[in-house]
Amino acid sequence: LLGADGQLSQTIFAEMSALAVSTGAINLGQGFPDEDGPIEVLDAARKAISDGVNQYPPGNGLPVLRNAISEHQERFYGIEIDPDTEVLATAGATEALAATILALTNEGDEVITLEPFYDAYGAMINYARATHITVPLRAPNFQPNHDDIRAAFSGRTRLIILNSPHNPTGSVLDRETLELVVELAHKYDALIVTDEVYEHITFGHEHIPIASLPGAFDRTISISSGGKTFNTTGWKIGWITAPQPILQAIMAVKQYLTYVNGAPLQHGIAVGLGLPDDYFTGLADGLARKRDTLGAGLRNAGFDVTTPQAGYFIIADAAPLGVTDAAEFCRTLPDLAGVVGIPVTAFVHPGNHGDYNTLIRFAFCKRTDVLDRAAAQLSGMK
């Protein structure tokens, strides 16, 4: 059972976070915030623990969370979801993805993802012994070419996994692209999996859940998580919304992965999903400012920077600094500048590294003083 890189190795995030700890460098590698989220969310989880919500919750999640997920889908996207039959709480988006891929693919089925792809997709597709087909996202816009999407589908396609807003490139899929995916999913009788963990972190670009498009819901598995929306990445409360027959198959797998997870934390996320609109817009506005701070710092240090439309990450091209191998450069960056970043090749199959060899992903979901310090250290590197 091999990881995305064909090796049974630790993830790039674990390797780079360990490097940050051992060198004392600023960790702009792994994407997690360094500040707590809304107090209401934290207090609700604390209260749930005090109130004795400390045993196994129901297999599909606590009703309070499933209701909140259903109401959130209706409020932000106009999607009507039955909280009792069409929602499943999971151990983060990660378990949602694992259970979905394991439940819905057989050996030899083809699974399409965008590339670069979040590394767990590659590992899970390998675990399922399915075949991984990719659609490239290329600089500077990191949008998929429609002909490449058409070419990726075949009679063997079982799933297409979308990720919008996208990690690592920060791109957001537009309506035309999503419509094409729905059309092709019908034509080839494939299912659509959509990873929307950055759904509330867009910078002036509309996030369109593909499940909201005509003809999509019946074949779409939508996945999200509270981690990015409420600064609770360590809680691992995620969820799936999908039509009942598909969800039942996924639940059958989930029950033997973790069975259930995070009862008191589910109370916290339920409160978060019901927060007023200005919480969600404030989250994106705050991160947009952080994006601009780090972007300016990276440009000043000599990197070519693509401004992301969404998410936690900025892609910087180190080629203007004379770098030809960003993976090697990232291993020396803690010494050179006291900063950790992730080479984009960590999200790309080895045979396709060519277009991505000089690109680095930096996380900007950090306090402004941390970003300022990182920017100053990177500029001092010249």
- Residues within window 145-174 making contact with ligand GLN, judged by CB under 6 A: 167
Q: Please choose which of ligand GLN, ligand PMP, none residue 13 contacts, taking the beta carbon within 5 to 8 angstroms, the exact cut-off set by kind.
A: ligand GLN
Asked if 13 interacts with ligand GLN (CB under 6 A), we say: yes
Asked if 157 interacts with ligand PMP (CB under 6 A), we say: no
Q: Which of 120, 61, 106 is nearest to 241 (CA)?
A: 61
Q: Supply the minimum distance, in Å, between the C-beta of residue 41 and ligand GLN.
A: 19
Do β-strands 87-91 and 237-241 pair in parallel, antiparallel, or remain unpaired? antiparallel
Q: Please choose which of ligand GLN, ligand PMP, none residue 202 contacts, taking the beta carbon within 5 to 8 angstroms, the exact cut-off set by kind.
A: none
The values of phi and psi at residue 222, to 5°, are: -100, 135
Q: How many residues bind ligand PMP (CB under 6 A)?
A: 13
Asked if 229 interacts with ligand GLN (CB under 6 A), we say: no
| CB-based closest residue to ligand GLN | 31
Mask for 31-70, x = binds ligand GLN (CB under 6 A) = x---------------------------------------
| Cα 27 from Cα 50, distance rounded (Å) | 34
Q: How many residues bind ligand GLN (CB under 6 A)?
A: 5
| Cα 273 from Cα 268, distance rounded (Å) | 9
Q: Please choose which of ligand GLN, ligand PMP, none residue 30 contacts, taking the beta carbon within 5 to 8 angstroms, the exact cut-off set by kind.
A: ligand GLN
Helix or strand (DSSP H, E) at 112: strand 110-115
Burial call 2-34: b when 16+ CB within 10 Å, e when fewer: ebbbeeeeebbbebbbebbeeeebbbbbbbbbe
Asked if 361 interacts with ligand PMP (CB under 6 A), we say: no
Q: What angle do CA 162, 257, 16 make, to 5 degrees?
A: 60
Q: Supply the minimum distance, in Å, between the C-beta of residue 320 and ligand GLN.
A: 25
- The tokens describing 265, both together, are 């934390």
Q: Which of 70, 163, 232, 261 binds ligand PMP (CB under 6 A)?
A: 163
Q: Supply the minimum distance, in Å, between the C-beta of residue 231 and ligand PMP.
A: 12
| Cα 304 from Cα 283, distance rounded (Å) | 26
Asked if 197 interacts with ligand PMP (CB under 6 A), we say: yes
- Name the one range near ligand PMP by CB under 6 A: 39-47, 135-143, 232-240, 359-367: 232-240
Q: Are 57 and 263 in contact (CB under 8 A)?
A: yes
The CA–CA distances, whole Å, from 377 to 29, 81, 298, 333, 344 equal: 15, 48, 10, 10, 21
- Name the one range near ligand PMP by CB under 6 A: 4-12, 174-182, 231-239, 342-350: 231-239
* Amino acid residing at 43: D
- Residues within window 86-105 making contact with ligand PMP, judged by CB under 6 A: 92-94
The values of phi and psi at residue 46, to 5°, are: -60, -45
| CB-based closest residue to ligand PMP | 92
Q: Which residues contact 32 (CB under 8 A, 6 or more apart)?
A: 227, 233, 234, 363, 365
Q: Please choose which of ligand GLN, ligand PMP, none residue 11 contacts, taking the beta carbon within 5 to 8 angstroms, the exact cut-off set by kind.
A: ligand GLN
Interface residues with ligand GLN (CB under 6 A)? 11, 13, 30-31, 167
Interface residues with ligand PMP (CB under 6 A)? 92-94, 118, 163, 167, 195, 197, 225, 227, 233, 236, 238
